[in-house]
Every structure is written in structure tokens, then in C-alpha cells.
Amino acid sequence: MRSLRMKLVMIMVLLIIALMIVVASFLINGVGSFYLGEFYEQMGTSFSEDFLLRLTDAAADGPENLYELVMAQSDLAIDLGSRNAYILDENGAYLCGSTDEAEFGPEITDNILTAMTGQVGQDRSIINSYMDVAIPISSGDNEYIVYIRDNKQTVDNLNSQIIMIIFQSLALGLVICVVLSFLLAEIMINPIERLTEGTMRVAEGDFGERIEVHSRDEISVLTENFNEMAGVLQSTMDEINSERDKLSTLFLHMTDGVVAFSRNGDVIQSNPASARMLGREMDENVAYDDIFGSITSLEEILDQSGSEPISAQMKVGKSDLELSLAPFSADESQGGVLAVIHDVTAQRKSEEMRREFVANVSHELRTPLTNIKSYTETIIDAGDDLPPDMKASFFGVILSEADRMTRIVQDLLTLSRFDYGKMEMNFSDFGIAEAVQNVYNAVIIDAQNHGHELLLEMEKDLPVIHADKERMEQVIMNIVSNAIKYTPDGGRIELSAWTMGEKVSISVSDNGVGIPEEDQPRLFDRFYRVDKARSREAGGSGLGLSIVKEIVQAHNGVIDIRSKQGEGTTMTVTLPIKR
Ligand code: ATP
Ligand code: MG
């Protein structure tokens, strides 16, 4: 800023000096011309014809007479100082004059030379340091030259005075100009300084402050425009920021993994999902080749100019991942590769389960159907040859296979109702003790047929719960019949119930075959059976516990399995008393 102020001062000073020089040279020139004109006019009027005649007469009596006559002519304004008169001979030599010969000097001017040829020498020149006229006077044999010379002393004095005045006014002008330029600088530079500060703040990223506008000149218009620009910038930046926040939140929380690689394969950005799916930290030490190098090279993706990304599959641990790899920004320096990772493990698993389920259903239904078909064919083929008791037993098999099919279909229907949320539950208040007792009564005969000892252990004062009674009995029944089925004859089965706080538990313990640990997590899967042959023999299809799980979940309850192969199983259902 200082320098701008200084420049302003310099310009003003130069302007003043230039102006003064112009004025001075015009004045000096004007004064010189004026005096020159004045001198020659004076000479013209003084040396009138009449005066010249008188001079010619006087010349006859010698140069002294001539001199006296010249000195008597007051119009010539001979002052013996700056203007002098001389009488010269025809060769321009000094004869007499108002100064002595030494002061006259040896100089023969152009005008004297002209006079020596008999003409009047009155050439004027502004450059000479003197003004002169030389008039030849001849009378008879005497030839003289009357010579008037002015050494411009008066003009020089006047000029030096003018120069003095010019210098004085220059000095004054300079002072005024310095003061003025400072004042001007204040008016012009202060707003510029404020504007500069403002631009610096904006450059540093602070768009909030506005610069005050005091006047209505160009700088104010500039300032106003700047304010407006800062405002627009601010709102644009706000928009960009909120957009960026939105995107980064999306990026952070999206379920798909996203990783951006630079052109040389470094990780530029990645979200937590990507690290989770790839099972590794996504820091700067990770390069493209470490992760996706085996699938396709970075160059190949970068060359992919079409809009279709490269799709690929990969397996990390137990997860199945689907990849989309595409280049972003064609810019040589900034572009890179974007990898979107989609975890399809669950999807694959559910597809697998669905296929398995369909296969299971077909298989489970085909077996009884085959049996029914073959028995029916035998009955038809044999006709009357078949003994009645055999016929009856065949019909019994057909009936039981039909029952089995009906049961499977019913179970599947129940499960599908749960799946679609269409299961209607009849909630009512009933004593849990009653439900457990009902199941006990229903299975005691069956248990005894297998030689099992069935014990019932119920706490006194078991609560009334709010649940679907029929479904609850179905749950207990399924678990108890499993215990009967999967315990070798002559086993010990205990059915017990108790409350704990706000919850009631029903537990079935047996000392049967037990369930291997690795099978326990899949026990509730549809059609899952530990020992398929044994289970089918026992008439099981593997749907019982699936239904149990759905019903218990619908009551906000939990099932706990404790089992050891060869030692026995305890299954406990715990339900909230209040719904
Ligand atoms: P369904 O109940 O449909 O007639 P299921 O009894 O075979 O058929 P689930 O009740 O779902 O099917 O039981 C699944 C599997 O769990 C059984 O096949 C069996 O292998 C195992 N299992 C269940 N309860 C016991 C138990 N108490 N002891 C040992 N294994 C059991
Ligand atoms: Mg069962």
C-alpha cells in the first residue's frame, strides 16, 4: 500500500515540475521576445529620417558631435548601464562611446558588419546575449557607424526574478501536492486497503464478514460486487459442504463397501463396510494389487472407456463378494478406479436354503406317495388273491402314509403362514400348569409303550399366562415327543415347569441319544435331522422344531438346548408371563 501512496505522490510531483517548467519557459521566452520587440521599435522610432539627417550634418564635425547628438536623443533610453551608444569608424573600430573601449570589446557583430557595407544593421536574434542596431552615417569623406547595444541586463534580471518566483511556487506547489496526494491517498487507498483485507479473509476461507461501503464511487461499486461475490461464494460453499456431508454420511453408513484407488493403485478413500467385507484395515499400506490384483489389473479397468463396469466375484473367508470395478474421471492426473463391493453371502445362503427346501419337500412327499402307489398297485394286481388280513394291513400302511403326508403339508402350511405373517394366534389367559398337564396326559401312554419313565415336576402356583394355548401345547408336545422318539426304550424323561421373575420356563430332559454339538445350531432349520434314517423311521420329517421356534418367537420367548451326544438332551422354553 505504501508504494501505491508513494506512486501517487511521485505522479503529482512530476506533474507540478513539468507544469512549472512549461510555465517558466513560456514566461522567459515571452519576456525575451517582448523586450526584443520593444528595443527594435524604440530604435525604429528614434532613428527617424529627420534625426538621421541631423546625424549626417553632425558627422561632418567629427565623431564627438555625432556622439553628443546621439546621447541627446532621449528616445534611445541610453542609460550607460545596460544600454550604451558608440560611434565607430567605417571599419567598426571604436572612436568614442558611453563606455571606454575596453568595455566595448573587440566584438564585431553581424549588424556592425551590415553597417560596414553601408546598410542599416538591425537583424534581431533572440539567442544572442545582446540586442543591437548599427546605422552607417556618411557625410562627405567621413563615414561613421552609430552603434547602440543593449546587453539584456534588464531582461536577465527580470528572468532571474521569474525563475525565483517559479522556484518558490514550485516549492509551495510541492508541499501542497504532497499534502493533497496524502489526502487523496486516504480517500482512495483506504477503501482499497479494506477491500484487500476482505479478499485476504475470503482467500483464507472466511466468507462471513462484509466490507462496509461509505460512498458511491467506482471502488464502492467494486466493494459491493465483492460483497455480493463473497455471499454467493458462501452459499455455494455451504451447499457444497452440506452435499459433501450428506455424501460422506451415506458413504460411511452404506451397506455396500466402496474403495477408491488412485491411478497408481493407492487407496484414496474407503468406507468401514469395505474394511469389514474384505476383512482387513484399509490404510495407506494397502494397494490395489494386494486386494483385487488377482481378479483384473488396474490398467485394464482404466482402459475401460465404456459405461459398463467390470463385474467380478471373490471369496473372502466365508463371505461371497460381488465386485463392480469402474474407472472414474478420465482426467490423467486425478482419475482412478472405484470398487463397489456387495456382500452376497446371505443372498447365496438363502438361495441355497430355498433350493434345499424345495428338494426336501419333494423328497419328503415322494416317499409316502411312492409307498401309497406301490401298496395300492399290489392290492389292485392281487385282486381277490390277497388274504383279507394282509389287505387290511396294506390299507393301514396307505392310511398312515397319507396321514404322514397330511401332517407334512399341514406343518409346511403352518410354517408358510409364519413366514408371511399370516399366522393367526388365539391369545387368551390360561394356567401354564394346565397346558403342561394336558401334554403329559396325552403322551403318557406313548411313553409307557416305549418303557420310558415320564416324570412331571411342576412348581406350585404356576402363573396364568397370556398366550395361544393350543400353540403352546403344540410346542411342549413337539419337544416331549422328540424326547420320547430320540431316547432308546426304557429311558427317563422329565417334564418340569417353574417361574423366575416375570418369566415362566418349561423344560424337557431326557437321557437319550443326545445331539452332537455341531448339529445344534442347525436344529431349527426346516427338514434338518441329525440322523435322517433314525428320524424317518420314527416318523419325523424335521419340521417339528422349526414350528416350535416360530411359535416361541411369536410369544417373545427363547429356547435353550443343552445336549451331549450319548448322554441326553434338555430343551427349555422360556416365555414372558405378560405379553
Ligand atoms: P417332526 O418333529 O417333524 O416329526 P423330527 O422330530 O425329526 O420331525 P424335529 O422335531 O425338528 O424333527 O427335530 C429335529 C432333529 O433334532 C431330529 O431329527 C433329531 O435328530 C434331533 N432331536 C430333536 N430332539 C432331540 C432329542 N431330545 N434328543 C436327540 N435328538 C433330538
Ligand atoms: Mg419332532
Q: Please indicate whether residue 360, judged by its CB atom, sits closer than 6 Å to ligand 1.
A: no
Residue 533: all three cell numbers together: 434314517
Nearest ligand 1 atom to alpha carbon 512: 28
Ligand 1 nearest atom to the CA of residue 542, by list position: 12
Ligand nearest to the CA of 569: 1
Give the number of the ligand closest to the Cα of residue 529: 1
Q: In this predicted structure, what is the pLDDT of residue 537?
A: 74
β-pairing, 94-97 vs 131-139, is unpaired
Whether 530 is in the pocket of ligand 1, judged by its Cβ within 6 Å, is yes
pLDDT of residue 285: 84
Task: List, for residues 412-470, the tens digit of each pLDDT value.
Answer: 999 999 999 888 899 999 999 999 999 999 999 999 999 999 999 999 999 999 999 99
pLDDT of residue 215: 78
Which ligand has the minimum distance to the alpha carbon of residue 509?
Answer: 1
Q: What is the pLDDT of residue 344?
A: 94
DSSP per-residue letters across 170-237: HHHHHHHHHHHHHHHHHHHHHHHHHHHHHHHHHHTT---------S-SHHHHHHHHHHHHHHHHHHHH
Residue nearest to atom 29 of ligand 1 (CA): 514
- Check residue 332 and give its pLDDT: 67
Buried b / exposed e over 55-72, threshold 16 CB at 10 Å, is: bbebbeeebeebbebbee
Cα separations in angstroms, 509 against 451, 495, 528, 543: 16, 7, 21, 20
Q: Residue 463 gets which letter from DSSP?
A: P
Which ligand sits nearest to residue 481's alpha carbon? Answer: 2
Distance from residue 576's CA to the centre of ligand 2 (Å) = 24
Ligand 1 neighbourhood includes 465 CB (under 6 angstroms):
no
Closest ligand 1 atom to Cα of 544:
2
CB of 482 closer than 6 A to ligand 1? yes
How far is CA 321 from its chain centroid?
Answer: 31
Ligand 1 pocket check for 414: Cβ under 6 Å: no
Ligand nearest to the CA of residue 563, numbered in listed order: 1
Give 214's Cβ-side CA count (13 Å radius): 7
CA of 482 relative to ligand 1 center, distance in Å:
5
- Which of 367, 485, 567, when mutated, tests ligand 1's pocket best, judged by the most ligand atoms within 8 Å of its CB? 485
Which atom number of ligand 1 is nearest to the Cα of residue 528?
14
CA 451 to ligand 2 center in whole angstroms: 19
Q: Edge to edge, what strands does the sheet with 319-328 contain?
A: 267-270, 257-262, 336-343, 319-328, 310-316
Please tell me the predicted confidence (pLDDT) of residue 2. 62
Does 569 sit in the ligand 1 pocket, CB within 6 Å?
A: yes
Mean pLDDT per 10-residue section of the chain, whose length is 579 residues: 73 89 91 91 90 88 89 86 89 89 84 91 87 89 89 88 91 86 80 86 83 83 89 91 92 91 89 91 87 87 79 91 86 82 93 91 91 94 89 94 93 93 91 96 95 95 94 96 94 96 96 94 91 75 94 95 95 91
Atom of ligand 1 nearest to the CA of 411: 3
CA-nearest residue, atom 22 of ligand 1: 482
pLDDT at 1: 45
Residue 530 CA: which ligand 1 atom is closest? 20
